[in-house]
Structure 1
Amino acid sequence: MKNCPNCNAEIEEGFELCWNCNYSLTEQKVVDIQDLNKNKREINCLRCDVPMLFSGEYKFHEGPKIGVLGNIFEAFVNRESFDLHICPQCGKVEFFAPLHNTDYKFE
């Protein structure tokens, strides 16, 4: 866990945006959610039928990280990243394969 430099809220590992104040760790400023939605999907919540907000890219990390040899074992881990969307009304969270990822084939 890391803390937001703007509001001191806890930010989980893998997230680059504060859930509380929209402070971007990569841009080092508070960003408007509308800016994040550029070039992203427009998805409605299946429960509420309201537009979901894009909350950033979440990176999953699977595999061992064993002591001093952890960096060597990093070559054998599985890393996936997904776009995270949140419903502003009910709080439902959904993960989607990124549009820019060419490893996924949609038909």
Structure 2
Amino acid sequence: MTHCPNCNEKIEEGFEVCWKCNYSLTEQKIIEFPDEDASSRNLNCLRCCVSMLYSGKFKFHEGVNPGVFGNIFEIFLNRESFDLYSCPKCGKIEFFRPLNK
């Protein structure tokens, strides 16, 4: 076992990056990893293998607004939100659960 020169955490044999501070033993610096958000997913279309485009987060609800009491009955509706991706080549659309709600 080795120790991280940056934070002194134990690093098991075979690992090149400290799990605690992201210090790379081979590059001798802290590596910045990009944050995972919805637009950073790398998805390919299942039909034509083209990279899909993130179109945003869409919110849907089940049910209808029954007239005057529409606002009151809104609390009983099931609401879901999904990330929408579309293929620029064939037009296929896919929905995914958001990574962060």
TM-score (ref. length: structure 1): 0.56
Question: C-alpha separation between the residues in 1 aligned to 2:100 and 2:67?
Answer: 34
Does residue 70 in structure 1 map to residue 70 in structure 2?
yes
| 2:41 aligned residue | 41
Unpaired segments ≥5 residues, structure 1:
1-36, 102-107
- Cα drift, residue 38 of structure 1: 7.0
Question: C-alpha separation between the residues in 1 aligned to 2:66 and 2:86?
Answer: 34
Question: C-alpha separation between the residues in 2 aligned to 1:40 and 1:98?
Answer: 12
Does residue 80 in structure 1 map to residue 83 in structure 2?
no
- Percent identity (aligned): 63
Give yes or no for contact 2:39–2:54 (8 Å, CA) kept in 1: no
Give yes or no for contact 2:38–2:83 (8 Å, CA) kept in 1: no
- The RMSD of aligned alpha carbons is 1.7
Output the amino acid matched with 2:69.
L
Q: Give secondary structure in 2 for the equivalent of 1:88.
A: coil
Larger Cα Rg: Structure 1 or Structure 2? 2
In the TM superposition, structure 1's runs of 4+ consecutive aligned residues that sit over 3 Å from their partners are: none
TM-score (ref. length: structure 2): 0.60
Question: C-alpha separation between the residues in 2 aligned to 1:93 and 1:64?
Answer: 25
